[in-house]
Amino acid sequence: MAELAKQSSVKLPRGAAPEETAEVRCSFCGGTGKDPFGVMSWLSNCCVCGGKGVVRVKAPYRPCPHCRNTGAVKTFTCTVCRGTGYVPRPAGPTLVCPECRGTGDDRGAPALSCLKCHGLGLVAPGKS
Ligand SMILES: [Zn+2]
Ligand SMILES: [Zn+2]
Ligand SMILES: [Zn+2]
């Protein structure tokens, strides 16, 4: 029996490294696990972390520029980081997005994310 359990635990697909994730405090509710804006009810669970107060994000990560790491744009969950307050840090070299100057905001409508960098505030160099 012990032999069987051992075998099944090493059945990882080859080449596909397990995705790196990290647990961070939920920015949307500030770790309280409760709906920060009382949209449904002040007692209802945060829709981002499901009431846990922590969320898993892809690692490495950086604070989301679009919502200033708050997880919220006005009273909505940030569309860029989905409310976690963190976005994956791109691998390889990056430039500050010339369109939004790194703010991640659409210049005409700050509540919307920048179209060029998708709200990340960074773009890959050499692309235009
Ligand atoms: Zn939360
Ligand atoms: Zn965000
Ligand atoms: Zn941008």
pLDDT in tens, 5-46: 455 555 555 666 677 999 999 999 999 999 999 877 878 999
> For residue 99, how far is its CA from the centre of ligand 1 (angstroms)?
30
Rounded Cα distance, 15 and 8, in Å:
18
**What three-state secondary structure class fits 24?**
strand
> For residue 78, how far is its CA from the centre of ligand 2 (angstroms)?
4
Rounded Cα distance, 97 and 44, in Å:
37
Q: What is the mean pLDDT of residues 104-118?
A: 96
From residue 47, alpha-carbon distances to 40, 60, 93, 109 in Å are: 10, 23, 34, 25
> For residue 83, how far is its CA from the centre of ligand 2 (angstroms)?
6
- Report which bound ligand comes closest to the CA of 116: 3
Predicted confidence at residue 79, as pLDDT, reads 97
